Amino acid sequence: MEQKSNTFLETEKIGKLMRMYSVPCIISLLVAALYNIVDQIFIANASYLGSYGNAANTVVFPLTVVALAIAVMIGDGCCAFVSICLGADEKENAHKSIGSAVLLCVISSVILTAVYLIFDEQILSMFGGRVNEETFIQSKEYFFYISLGIPFYMFGQAMNPVIRSDGSPKFAMISTLAGAAVNIILDPIFIFVFKWGMMGAAVATVAGQVVTAVLAVWYLCHMKAVRLSKESFGIHTKLAGRYLALGITSFLSQISLVAAMAAINNMIRKYGAMDAIFGQAEYAQIPMAVVGIVMKFFQIVISIAVGMAAGCIPIVGYNMGAKRFDRAKALFTKLLICEALVGAVALFIVEVFPGQLIQIFGAANESPYYTDFAIKAFRIYLCMMVFATVNKGTFIYLQSLGKALASTVLSMIREVIFGVGFAIILPVFFGLDGVLYSMPVSDILTFIMSACVIAYTYRTLGNDAKRY
């Protein structure tokens, strides 16, 4: 007998639901972020790779985000749409949406892999890979093997939110944890024992992604609230259009981050060459390696912020479908408070312990310039973390309400207009330091707009609650 839809999302206490859904989602996203940062830690501490390998990792990282952007557009959009369908008791639309999402993910991942393998040198050059010859060689080797794993990576990431929408956030977490465990075990073996270098780091990562993808396939065959059948697996263009619209914010927030990273990498390359220290060939890779490390720490913090908000998508979607606007408003309040607390803790860490953070990434094997620039980068680049986490939570919450346009506009302004714009403009006046200033300036201006949207959303939800 088919299990009844997730009615407890309408009746259980908001705080308990947040813990039930957000904690596994946070862990899942943290683990996903750690895939890349674990590689970077082991690479940094391998004396034969060092800052060259770290710089290569920084070059390739945005290209993995492109794959993630497509995956989360499909997965987050499907998650939000399925949750709304279950709240409105539209189970046929729910199972057909999931089947469609599976097919779209497979097709798009194969196409992206082909593009990466065919145009690897041109793509790496666009993302600053030619900062020096050794960095480019390391980047090319790492990128080749990472590209082979793109289909597994995208499938696992796209199905993770779908699994959550079926009422199984713990399984979504476990599948990601299993893949990360494989990566962490294999990384030191391949890098330090076998001496496989960048290839070893990449192969360890791909092996973990395969494990997560296999577990996702198993779950799709054993779903609870939604049952898949042969009829489920089609493109179903009308349904796909509806859930992709809900996922477009997730896509744009990730893909615009790629644009910002491309701009930052190229500005680092350009203005680093003008610097008295980093203009020297033996130190040219240091700014790119360091900024990559700082961005990875930022990615960890943002993973927590996104995890809290994304974990709430099924809760918000179900309650909006059930016309429980009062609960949606209460959830928004709790979410914003939690987002601000996460940002405050992260701010304390980067301002007080930047030296300790950079020690994790092989500072002992590098010149003093590596440590000095890293401390400055942590303190400047991430000084507005509270605003950054609140902004991200607001974007995703709007998405879960079905307000895709407002969420998309805010996200695009933050990442493209501000993120890319200031990364290009500020270095003209402040040199290499201008790249670091671009992040806090963007977060401050975005928060001013987010505050207006937050106030409007509160008022709207309050008015809707009074009508029902």
In a domain, 9, yes or no: no
pLDDT at position 336 is 94
pLDDT at position 5 is 52
For residue 234, the tally of other CB atoms under 10 A from its CB is 13
In a domain, 30, yes or no: yes
Longest alpha-carbon distance in the chain: 72
Structure-block tokens of residue 370: 């590596």
Alpha-carbon gap, residue 308 to 396, rounded angstroms = 10
Say whether 24 sits in a helix, a strand or coil.
helix
Alpha-carbon gap, residue 346 to 335, rounded angstroms = 17
Alpha-carbon gap, residue 80 to 23, rounded angstroms = 18
Alpha-carbon gap, residue 275 to 269, rounded angstroms = 10
Structure-block tokens of residue 74: 């499909």
pLDDT at position 3 is 44
By residue range, what is the domain housing residue 368? 14-467
In a domain, 429, yes or no: yes
The number of distinct structural domains making up the chain is 1
In a domain, 74, yes or no: yes
Structure-block tokens of residue 51: 């800052």
- DSSP string over 66-84: HHHHHHHHHHHHHHHHHHH
Contact residues for 193 (Cβ-Cβ < 8 A; gap 6+)? none
Name the one residue in this structure whose structure tokens are 């930052």. Answer: 264
In a domain, 7, yes or no: no
Positions in the chain short of pLDDT 70:
1-6, 32, 36, 468
- Asked whether the beta carbons of 169 and 311 are under 8 A apart, the reply is yes
Return the DSSP state at 191.
I
In a domain, 406, yes or no: yes
pLDDT at position 167 is 81
Q: Shortest CA distance to 33 belongs to which of 376, 301, 313?
A: 301
Instruction: For the full predicted model, state whether its pTM sits above 0.95.
Output: no
Structural element, H or E, at residue 433: helix 432-467
In a domain, 2, yes or no: no
In a domain, 4, yes or no: no
Return the DSSP state at 283.
G
Alpha-carbon gap, residue 248 to 22, rounded angstroms = 21
Q: Shortest CA distance to 162 belongs to which of 23, 314, 12?
A: 314
